[in-house]
């Protein structure tokens, strides 16, 4: 693995470390939410999400190494830009939701509806960030197979998760009033 491959591996490791940090923050927030009366909702797909992210973070460098993928600046640099944007969006989401942010589906509506930050425009900005990241990170070093498979699996998993999450959220009249007319992912699109 050449210099660009080693740099890519460091980028993937940094992204993985950031994910581990998110899990710790999420666990702390879940404990705080439960103490305030929120409840975790059984969703069934969380273990699949964890497996997908682990597979993508392992698969991308393995694909680069085994398939001898070369760094191609015309793909890699825009992909790196999208990866950075996805990380910034995720951090904006975490900052906006503060103690209500979690990697799990939680019925925290008794604590109030959050409709600022990126939630001013869409209902699920975190899922936009995740989708961008799973597509962009492997493409930074031309791991197009990992990007394709991870993106397809993510779409299937998120379809189930979002259906469960929205069943909880849209059951609350305050949430429906604040968020019901907003698009799921992209501002201005149905």
Q: Transcribe 116-176 into DSSP letters.
A: SGGGGT-S-HHHHHHHHHHHHHHHTTT-HHHHHHHHHHHHHHHHHHHHHHHHHHTTSHHHH
Domain boundaries, the chain: 3-179
Prediction pTM value: 0.92
Instruction: List CB contacts of 5: < 8 A, sequence separation 6 or more.
Output: 61, 64, 65, 71, 141
- How would CATH label the architecture of 3-179? Up-down Bundle (1.20)
In the chain, count H helices and then E strands. 6, 2
Length of the chain: 190
Tens of pLDDT, residue by residue over 43-98, are 889 999 999 999 999 999 999 999 999 999 999 999 999 999 999 999 999 999 99
């Amino acid at each position: 693995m050449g210099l660009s491959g080693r740099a890519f591996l460091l980028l993937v490791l940094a992204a993985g470390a950031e994910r581990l940090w998110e899990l710790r923050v999420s666990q702390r927030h879940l404990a705080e939410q439960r103490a305030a009366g929120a409840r975790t909702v059984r969703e069934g797909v969380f273990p699949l999400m964890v497996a997908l992210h682990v597979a993508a973070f392992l698969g991308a460098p393995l694909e680069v190494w085994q398939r001898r993928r070369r760094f191609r600046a015309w793909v890699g640099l825009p992909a790196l830009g999208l990866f950075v944007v996805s990380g910034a969006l995720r951090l904006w989401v975490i900052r906006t939701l503060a103690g209500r942010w979690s990697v799990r589906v939680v019925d925290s509506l008794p604590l109030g509806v959050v409709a600022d930050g990126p939630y001013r425009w869409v209902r699920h900005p975190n899922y936009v960030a995740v989708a961008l990241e799973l597509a962009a990170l492997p493409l930074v070093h031309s791991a197009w197979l990992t990007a394709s498979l991870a993106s397809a699996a993510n779409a299937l998993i998120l379809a189930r998760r979002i259906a469960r999450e929205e069943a909880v959220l849209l059951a609350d009249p305050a949430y429906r009033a604040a968020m019901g007319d907003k698009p799921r992912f992209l501002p201005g699109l149905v």
